Structures are given as structure tokens and as C-alpha cells.
Chain A
């Protein structure tokens, strides 16, 4: 088999850590290669080096047997190495065509900054690209009007327009629904058939086992295992990634107590259309549904991010008005939001400052003068409790890995001692070991008498952690299912999540 991309003894140091420690890496023609490892294992750094974003301290890279050195992503691009980042990087205010040909516009005659662009040519080429990946939107659509999955298709088109040999995809599935993941996999397989190699990064083991031809495992900056798809098993893979056995879903007996939160007929725009449910102490209430089913919006109404247009909220049987997150915090509600970088953390502030943010009022003198020592004590307590890996609590949170950042967000809300905790996709993009820790903690919180709501798009997570499952579809609750014996199945939830039950009932 032909080697398209080969890297030898890649080494990259950051202050205090060797991120990539002498790694060899090779991609064969037309293969789907998965690169897996925990957060902080060095995958992202390696990918950045191979795609020209970072330069290695030592080591060499070859493309099609020719030695290269990438000074910038553009260099890598021109050698046929494309990358689709986890955080999509499209200009939202431009159309699909404009994005696909951004900085490589087709012009009439010679190409200069002021040449006239040939719109027809670009349109027809984009149309062609879109049809090869079976995308169903027009080239002149504004990118801001597309769904996440569609935007990803635009990124893929953009990559394809450069006739790449290898496409790196960094966690392309983390924001997709199950059916969208299926569609993406179809595209990936199609690209493979056309001889393009794919390097795929994901934290979802099932996906890796489904799509890969070959799997490379990294741990602590080193390549620790390589396996063909047929030799890989879930257990083997996890052991290679984590370096030890991981206890997955903790089994616990549940003992739901009084109703702590009741929501009646909440309505907001066309996103939440009359939602009612109850949450009891000691239970984990799972919220399943497709992306856009209104789960996050419902929680935002309860947490005061948005105000409901209709409906009532009761806490411990008492009707309450929640107009802002401050009101919600005063009522002992905590929300661990979906997007930790945008909503959960202030990246420019320290680990400590982030953790104490919602608790400041309680630990400050006279309610307004900061008490540095109390803050440090609280932050240290939760850094230790959640095993947050940080050199010191005054570290700027931007410098921590994704899993540890997520733990900061958790620490922030655990430290407020809230009675009601709402987790919105708590393990999205989180590595296996941290995921297991978070799962264990969610169960422990419930057993300690708190009411826990967990939105998740990962059905195994929902099935294994929840005592009851609320299924939403297009702003409505289509089912509230008992799962106290863990007897629910994925099919049952999918049935309600796709609105099938509604159709039958009508």
C-alpha cells in the first residue's frame, strides 16, 4: 500500500510538558485511520503539526515520499493535506460558494486581489462538489442559515476543492445527531472509494469501531498502540487509551424522594411548546431527543437565561419567578451549560476565579468585599475533589485541557451546593476516563439527595445514568419513560425522539 503521509520522530515541547514525544505516524492511500487518545494525549498537537499550524521541535514529515516542512496551514494545503476543525471556521455572513472558494476565488484571466471573479464558474463547481457528497442545499445559501451538519459539508467541499490527498477530521461528530453521523460516514466512505485518506478523531468508541480501517492510539504524547479494525475491541481500545481498566456506568440503587422542581406548560417562541415535568430528589432525569428538540431551551427557561412566555415553575411546591440566572442561583439551581468555552468559562480568568464565580456572594465579607483566603480554600477543595489537573489554582483556565476545563465548570456549580443541577451534554468532547469520572459523580450527586437533570445526545449515557427519561421532539415532550431497572432500549427512545409516537397518537 502506498504511504501518502509519513512523519518520523515528531517531537514538540510546550513549557513544562512534552506534548508529542517522538511519534512516528503514517497514513496509507485510501484508508480511514482513527487517531484516538484521551484529552491531553497529544492528538491535537500532532494534528496541528501535520497540518502546518504548529512547527515541530524536531522530526520530519514526508508527503508522497517527498520531504516537506510546513511553515503554515497554507503549505500543508498546497501539498494536499486538508483539515476540518472541530470548531468550524466558516464566514457565517458569506454564502456557501464564497466560503468554499474563500482566498482561492476563480477569476477571469490572471488572479490578483482586484481581478473580477467568475461567479458562474465557482457556482457550477460548488454545485458539483455538493452533489458528490449528496448535500441538498444550494451554493448561494447563506452559511448562517445552515445546520451544524450542513456547515460541516461546506467545510468538506472546501477541502475537496483543493483536491486533497488526506483530510484530517477533528471530532467531526461531536455536534451531530445520530442520523447526521450516519450521513457523514457515508460521505467519508465515499471519499475513501475515491482514494482520499481520512484521519478521523473521535471520543466515541462505537464510531471509531464502525468507521476505521486502522486505529492509532496515543497516550501521554506517545504512540502506544496500532491496530487493524478487525483486531480492535471496546475493552482493548479503552485500556490502550487510558492505560488501565475503566469502570463504566456505575450501578446504584435509586430512591427518589419529594418533588423538588415542577414545570407546568412552559412555552417560549416556537422552540418550547408547552413542556411539563417533575424532578424528584435523588433521581437523575435524562432528557433525550434530537439536536434542536428544545431540551436546551427548556433548561434555559428554568435557569432564567430566557424568560418563558407562558407557564409556571414550582420549587419545592412553591411557585417561583425566575428572571435571570441570579434568581435561579438564589433558588439553588445550577446549570452546567453545553458550550463550556462560550457559556461555561471565562477563559482569561484563573481556575480559582472561575470556580468561585457563582459563590462569591456567600464567601465575601459583608457580601461585597472579596475574601481571597476563602476563595482559595473553596477552589482548592474542589480542585482536589474533582482531581482537576492544574499546576496551581491561579493558572489561567485557557491553558488547561478540555476535560479539565469541563471539570472547572462542574466545580463551579458543585461548590454552590445547589439542590437542582442541570447538566447539558456534560461529556461532549470529553475523554473516556474523565467521562467515567463525571458519570460517577452525577450518580453520587443524585444519591446524596439532589435532583439532577441531564441532557445528552449519547443514548448509552442516557440509558445507563437516568432513572427516568424525558423524550422531546420539536419543542414538545413525547414521552416520559421509566428506567429505574435500566430496562429501556435505544430503539424505544429513538421511536419517541423522532416524533413517531406523536404521529401514531394524532
Chain B
């Protein structure tokens, strides 16, 4: 009898961010009707897909708590894109290239997980290392020049659409459903929340803490790989400079979507909503003719204000 109430109360944590998203969208649409054109909405959708996919991976890592964070996704987008482009321009079939890239990005997650769980190096440092290494490696591979001439079948990954909805959005929806199931309906998800809530107690309860942490980094790596492929398809090239600062937008999306930086709390829907808000901000700033010089300033301030409001709201209720 009480149960229903409690559940519905819980699933509405994303309500605030959703309302914020819709109001901002309405505001933009009123000031510039071009916002609602199919072309703009598709562009927006593609951007949401990238940030959303990264934010989901980031949410898993952050939820494990203990200061866990993944700073590598932005650089990994560049590295995986460049590697995919190199493979495809060297005669490796598109599907095989994609699989290799995904295996590689999961491998990078394993690398992070290994340092964090076995050698007990802070995640911040290990992934900061990758942030630099991956960016550097993409420059090494390309010698600074983009790799062009990707097969047109690969470009559909970003540029194609089904019933008017861009393929990246479909990918986001599919991955979102799978990851949401993982987070809410499996033992792994419950263990993840337990580790984030109290690592010691989780271990005393028989949770394999190291494995849980390892899996979160693998998921984050995998998501970065997917995003890397989509971005390469969007640009029709392997670009060593792409994706810069995306990890920060991913973290911001996760936090705006209700992920607690101390661990234990977070949701897939929330991360997607968070990513939508940030993507929408970019889009709105363009639509409202705000000078590009101001974009980063505005977005930074919005992130701080949004999270502060959320903290205050929690304090009042708690």
C-alpha cells in the first residue's frame, strides 16, 4: 500500500530536469521558430545522442563512488575515430573495424579498472593519463592530419535516419534501454548502488567490489567507443582534435540528471535528460544568435546554477 507511493515518488526525480528541458525548448521555439524545423531537431537529436551515450557511461563510473570518475571519453572519441578511419582506409571491412574499435575501447576500460582496483590508483589520475595519452596517440597516428575517404556505408551510422529520426538517436534509445535494465533490474545494478553507498558494507555482504568497479569502467569505455564511431561518421573523417572537453559535458550531464558525485545514486533516464539540457543549450545559443565566444561562459554558469539548485532542493526536502 505504501509501496506504490514510494516508488512513484522515486521515479519522479527526473521531473525537475525534464521540466527545465521543456521550458528551455519552448522559450527557444518562441523566440526563433526555426528551432522547430526538422533539420534543426535532427541536429539537436544527434548532439543529444553523443552527450547522452557518454553521460550514461559516466553515470555508471561515478555511481560506484569512492571518487570514481572517467576523464577519458573526450580523447577516446578522437582516438577511436582516428583508429576506425585508419582501419577502414586500410582495407578492413566496416563491420570488422567497428567491432575492433569497440573491443579496443572496452580494453581501455579494463586498463582503467585494473589500475583502480588492483593497484589502487585514483580513477581521476588513471583516466587523466588516458585523456592525454589518447589525444596524443591520435596525433601520432594521423601526424596531425585528418584521415579522410571513409566508406559511405559507414557514414550512414550518423547521417542516416529511420522514419526521420537520426540513427544515433536510435542507438541512444537502444543503449539507454539496455543500460537502464542493467542498472535497475539486475544484481549488478543493485551491487553498484551498494558499492557506491558503502563499499565496506558491500564487501561484507559478499559483493565483489572490484568486479563491479571494473565493469563500470568497461561500460564507460564501450560508450566512448560508440560515440567515437558516430562522431567519425558525422565528420566523414578521423579527426585527432575532436571531442575535446566532452568528458566534462558528460560529467555535467550526469550530475544535472541526478547522479551523486559521492556515489550510490543515479539513473540512465536522468543522464539522458541532463545530456539533452546541455545539448539544447548549445543549440539554443546558436538559435538565439548569441556570439560563439559566449557559449562556454553561458554553459558553465548554467551547470553551476543547475547543480546548486538541485543541492538546495535536496537540503530543503531532506
Contact = CB atoms under 8 A, between A and B. Distances in A.
A394 interface: yes
Contacts of A326: 206-208
Interface string A118-154: 0000000000000000000000000000000000000
A68 to B, nearest CB: 27
A335 B3 CA distance: 30
Given A347-B198, A349-B194, A394-B3, A369 B205 contact: no
B6 interface: yes
A337 interface: yes
15 contacts: A325-B203, A325-B204, A325-B205, A325-B206, A342-B200, A344-B201, A346-B193, A346-B197, A347-B197, A348-B198, A357-B202, A364-B186, A368-B187, A369-B186, A376-B3
A62 to B, nearest CB: 32
Given A369-B186, A392-B3, A348 B208 contact: no
Nearest to A345: B201
Nearest to B208: A326
A342 B205 CA distance: 12
A346 B2 contact: no
A353 B197 CA distance: 12
A358 B187 contact: no
B190 A353 contact: yes
A183 interface: no
B58 interface: no
Given A346-B198, A391-B2, A370 B186 contact: yes
Nearest to B194: A346
Nearest to A360: B187
B207 A357 contact: yes
A305 B205 CA distance: 10
Contacts of A328: 206
B7 interface: yes
Nearest to B195: A346
A375 B116 CA distance: 32
B204 A343 contact: yes
Given A325-B204, A361-B187, 15 more contacts: A303-B204, A324-B203, A326-B206, A344-B201, A346-B194, A346-B264, A348-B193, A348-B197, A357-B202, A358-B206, A360-B191, A369-B185, A370-B185, A370-B186, A394-B7
Given A360-B187, A370-B186, A342 B206 contact: no
Interface string B175-195: 000000000011111110110
Q: Could you say which interface size class chain A belongs to? A: 20 to 34
Nearest to B193: A349
A18 to B, nearest CB: 20
A337 B205 CA distance: 10
Interface in A355-377: 357-358, 360-361, 364, 367-370, 376
What 4 A-B pairs have minimum CB-CB distances, sorted nearest first?
Answer: A392-B2, A346-B197, A348-B197, A329-B206
B158 interface: no
Interface in A376-397: 376, 391-394
B204 A349 contact: no
Given A348-B265, A358-B206, A368 B186 contact: yes
Contacts of B204: 303, 305, 325, 335, 337, 343-344
A81 B194 CA distance: 39
A215 to B, nearest CB: 35
B3 to A, nearest CB: 6
Contacts of B208: 324, 326
B202 A346 contact: yes
Nearest to B1: A392
A412 interface: yes
A33 B191 CA distance: 46
A252 to B, nearest CB: 29
A328 B206 CA distance: 8
A76 B174 CA distance: 58
A469 B194 CA distance: 35
A345 B3 CA distance: 21
Contacts of A412: 205
A270 B38 CA distance: 71
A368 B188 contact: yes
A368 B186 CA distance: 5
A364 B203 contact: no
A370 B191 CA distance: 11
A420 B185 CA distance: 31
A394 B205 CA distance: 19
Contact of A394 (B2, B187, B194): B2
A32 B193 CA distance: 45
Contacts of A367: 187
B80 to A, nearest CB: 29
Most buried by A among B6, B198, B203, B265: B198
Interface string A314-358: 000000000011101100000101000011111111000100011
Contacts of A347: 197-198
Contacts of B207: 326, 357
Contacts of A391: 2
A305 B206 CA distance: 10
A376 B2 CA distance: 13
Most buried by B among A328, A369, A376: A369
A348 B202 CA distance: 12
A367 B186 CA distance: 9
Contact of B190 (A337, A345, A370, A376): A370
Contacts of A349: 193-194, 197, 264
Contacts of B205: 325, 346, 357-358, 412
Contacts of A358: 205-206
Contacts of A343: 200-201, 204
B310 to A, nearest CB: 17
